[in-house]
Structure 1
């Protein structure tokens, strides 16, 4: 299995460099468990989802605590047939056969309820893509049912679902969508945008 995310962090402020470089310290606890590659467009994080999503959560939350409008854009993928297996990505999330929707949804809801409270209110929109499967819409609809019960659901949008709440619950919701819907060894991707401190909300 190969899993990871291409992420870009955008603080909407003249001192964006300071906000980004300060927030990068939040990745320090995860560096030994991730492969991190940065260029002038984005940063690639490769690793298991139980490390990947807390790392993104902590990075974004650290930036948002600047009280500046911050946006995280991410393309998250697992099981891409064009990528080699990578031992750093090994995760129990992807072991075993597909279990019934109700069991997956219940486990996902429990994980969100137990999410770490980060003290950062955020909004997000995500789109889940289950690729190469004839029953992809069943998996997407099952995920949407989970999202609507997650406590972070705000509304359905064209091509996306909008979430809002503490960033801990938001990233836990996205992690569960990523891990529990689509076959365990299948190709699944998420397009994610997360925002905090937007002046539009005021």
Structure 2
């Protein structure tokens, strides 16, 4: 995955909530956290969500790894969140920026094969031709080893978790190169019982 990943000097962040559909949800989340290296991001968790901030490479790496190590349990798990970069009120506080742009969880993540479905929506802020930027990334996603389909208010990606997050990151990265403030909402689900029908 690192071949297509690049660092950015701007602060990126993701606020997400993880939902293991199991009465053992606490153990599942804690075990996943033990397997994920979060040393390159600033992280804060409260009773609603978790926020990670830092270089875009590490923000995506940690978010993907937490979902992947939760989903590999075989339990139905979902994650919903928002990536953001370039927020006018954002500051360098509560973040870690470093010259290291190698995803620290990549080796462990690459060892896990896990299918998932994801819906995402891109929001290039303050740009009148925002739909052109969105359509461009939807078209590019068709060439990123994921199945792409249109749904109401979002785009759906299906495939291996690593390919899905790679497509999300590449879309987000390419838009933020042209637009100062970008947000991207997403919901990803794995091991859903409805897929067994």
Equivalent residue for 1:145, pick from 139, 143, 155: 139
Q: Are 1:15 and 2:24 an aligned pair?
A: yes
Structure 1 stretches of at least 4 aligned residues deviating more than 4 Å after TM superposition: 89-93
SS of equivalent residue, structure 1 residue 68:
coil
SS of equivalent residue, structure 1 residue 129:
strand
Equivalent residue for 1:88, pick from 73, 85, 96: 96
RMSD over aligned CA atoms reads 2.2
Q: Write out aligned runs for 1:46-195 (5 A).
A: 46-85=53-92, 88-89=96-97, 116=110, 118-184=112-178, 186-195=180-189
Question: Contact 1:116 / 1:169 at 8 angstroms: preserved in 2?
Answer: no
Q: Deviations over 1:71-110 (max 9, x none)?
A: 01111100011212457347899xxxxxxxxxxxxxxxxx
Question: Take 2:83 and 2:13, find their aligned partners in 1: how far apart are those partners?
Answer: 6
Equivalent in the alignment of 2:5: none
Say if 1:73 and 1:195 are closer, same or farther in 2 by CA, change over 3 A. Answer: same
Extract unaligned runs of 5+ from structure 1: 94-114
Question: Take 2:111 and 2:138, find their aligned partners in 1: how far apart are those partners?
Answer: 23
Question: Take 2:110 and 2:72, find their aligned partners in 1: how far apart are those partners?
Answer: 16
Question: Take 1:18 and 1:88, find their aligned partners in 2: how far apart are those partners?
Answer: 28
Extract unaligned runs of 5+ from structure 2: 1-9, 102-108
Give the CA deviation at 1:148: 2.1
Give the CA deviation at 1:26: 2.8
TM-score under structure 1 normalisation?
0.81
Equivalent in the alignment of 2:34: 25
Give the CA deviation at 1:3: 1.0
Question: Contact 1:126 / 1:161 at 8 angstroms: preserved in 2?
Answer: yes
TM-score under structure 2 normalisation?
0.83
Equivalent residue pairs, number = 179
SS of equivalent residue, structure 2 residue 22:
coil
